[in-house]
Amino acid sequence: MPLQPRAQAAAALRQIAFGLRASQALYVAAKLNVADHLAQGPLDAEELSKATEVDAAALGRVMRALCSLDVFAESPTGRFSLNSTAELLRSDVPGSYRAAVLFSVGEVRWSCWSDLLGTVRAGGGGAERTLGMSLFDFYAAHPEESEIHDQAMRATSAAQVTAIVGAFDFSQAGVVVDVGGGTGELLAAVLTANSLLRGILFDLPHVVAHARSVFTDNGVMDRAQTMGGSFFESVPAGGNTYLLKTVIHDWDDMRATAILANCRRAMTAGAKLLIIERELPEVGEPGQTAEALLLDLEMLVMTPGGRERTRSEFARLLSETQFKLARVVPTTSPVSIFEADAV
């Protein structure tokens, strides 16, 4: 290999390998609430260390590394301040991404991902081996981690919700049933944008219990109701449009099929199903597809058989459960809307 291409290849591999260092530096800043401390104005390493109760020299080195990655800014006098990226690390701003950082690269995932080789050898089960239980059981037993998960999902979902409502015409959706809809942010946004619609939020009882404030804050409480249960057992009947946002990717084909089959049993002819997920590319190529393929590895490590799927894989699952994939609607966010008709 000629010298220049070899150097470029080495640089590419080095950048990928250094990713763990960057993510852990970001985690430290998020865990220490550095952005909150800088919200009132610039601070040097000594001042910042007093606020966060850590070593000044070590924190200064972390901060300089993050400045080089365009997270935070450093003045010639050594004072650190917020930039537009760091603003999203504040815990008190709309759309804060702090919880998403803690969720993505915190201790739980750091431990589980450290055994990726073992997961590949076994074909899955990384979280179960590391945590001693499924991830969902772990969250049930560790409310603090569960809260970080919930906050992260809300932060990640916020931009997606806006993109989904902007990309799809819900005006004729009738009664919208959001299956596995969490605390109702997507359903609330759909109802807010379409005043004639009614909605049903369906998820585990302890999850939907938190939706009342979401519906109240959005002024749709009179058009929304909640129902608790498991989508592996049944799904509320009587809807015209059924939503499954980032639900199917948590499960293997057998359990994904069970969820879709329960949706189909609840639906009448003419009803629509909208699966909102990332579309995995058919071929791994450099570029924007990397994020989806890396998220697919996240599902391999952290879920009981979950995976991102290609368009053809979605079409097959739908066909097996008496649906027909009608079209795929892209959004301005990473997710797409897979529209399916009940047949």
CA atoms of 165 and 198, how far apart (whole Å): 15
For the stretch 80-116, what's the b/e string if a residue is b when 16 or more beta carbons lie within 10 angstroms of its beta carbon?
bebeeebebbbeeeeebbbbbbbbbbbebbeebbebe
CA atoms of 43 and 37, how far apart (whole Å): 8
Degrees to nearest 5, angle at CA 30 with 24 and 32: 105
CA atoms of 29 and 45, how far apart (whole Å): 13
**Long-range pairs for 144-147: beta carbons < 8 A, 24 or more residues apart:** 145/108
Burial of 77 (0-12, 13-18, 19+ CB in 10 A): exposed
Residues forming the active site: 249
Helices (H) and strands (E) in the chain, counts: 18, 10
The set of residues, in sequence order, having a beta carbon less than 8 Å from that of 290 and lying 6+ positions away, is none
CA atoms of 297 and 223, how far apart (whole Å): 39
Q: Token pair 């995976």 is at which residue? A: 307
Listed residue (141, 136, 134, 144) closest to 31, CA to CA: 144
CA atoms of 71 and 84, how far apart (whole Å): 8
